[in-house]
């Protein structure tokens, strides 16, 4: 039964991987089209602040997608184990995207402190992950696929 579940899990991951690759490809095409339209519209080769924010937002969204794709490939298909450094990296990139597109003038201070707390906790977690497992970010203690042996 466990072998059947593992095969099913691998099939689902491969399907998700294909869908993610398609989504990233389409997002890249959309980004390119948006950028072309923005710089081709008068005034030519000039972007206003809103357009720049949109460009940065789309760019970061594609980077997050690529990191997720890499995470799926590295974690499940290549190694068959969690790679927590990649998960933390993707989370840091995602919150960085949020900060880049954030409108400081309309965001309340509680939300800003919340975002700051998230950034701090992610970077501290990343630091400790690198300190405890500097070679590849893999934590055998947190690996659910690792065979558990009773203590002796």
Number of domains in the chain: 1
Per residue in 76-114, pLDDT (tens digit) is 766 666 667 777 888 888 898 888 888 888 999 999 999
In a domain, 2, yes or no: no
Residue 147 forms part of a structural domain: no
Give the residue numbers spanning the domain of 33: 10-139
Residue 103 domain-assigned (yes or no):
yes
Q: Is residue 96 part of a domain?
A: yes
In a domain, 116, yes or no: yes
Global pTM reads 0.67
- Look at residue 151 and tell me if it is in a domain: no
Long-range Cβ contact pairs of 26-29 (< 8 A, separation 24 or more): 27/58, 27/61, 27/62, 27/65, 28/62
Q: Which tens digit of pLDDT belongs to each residue from 115-127?
A: 999 999 999 999 9
Give the containing element (helix H, strand E) for 129. helix 109-132
């Amino acid at each position: 039964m466990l072998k059947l579940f593992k095969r099913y899990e691998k099939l689902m991951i491969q399907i998700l991987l294909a869908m993610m690759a398609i989504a990233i490809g389409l997002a890249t095409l959309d980004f390119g089209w948006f950028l072309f339209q923005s710089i081709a519209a008068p005034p030519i080769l000039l972007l206003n602040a809103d357009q720049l924010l949109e460009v940065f937002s789309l760019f970061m969204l594609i980077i997050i997608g690529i990191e997720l794709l890499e995470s799926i490939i590295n974690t499940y298909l290549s190694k068959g184990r969690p790679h927590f450094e990649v998960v933390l990296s993707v989370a840091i990139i995602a919150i960085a995207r949020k900060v880049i597109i954030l409108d400081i003038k309309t965001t309340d201070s509680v939300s800003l402190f919340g975002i700051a707390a998230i950034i701090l906790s992610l970077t501290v977690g990343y630091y400790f992950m690198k300190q405890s497992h500097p070679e590849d970010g893999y934590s055998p203690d947190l690996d659910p696929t690792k065979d558990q042996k009773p203590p002796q």
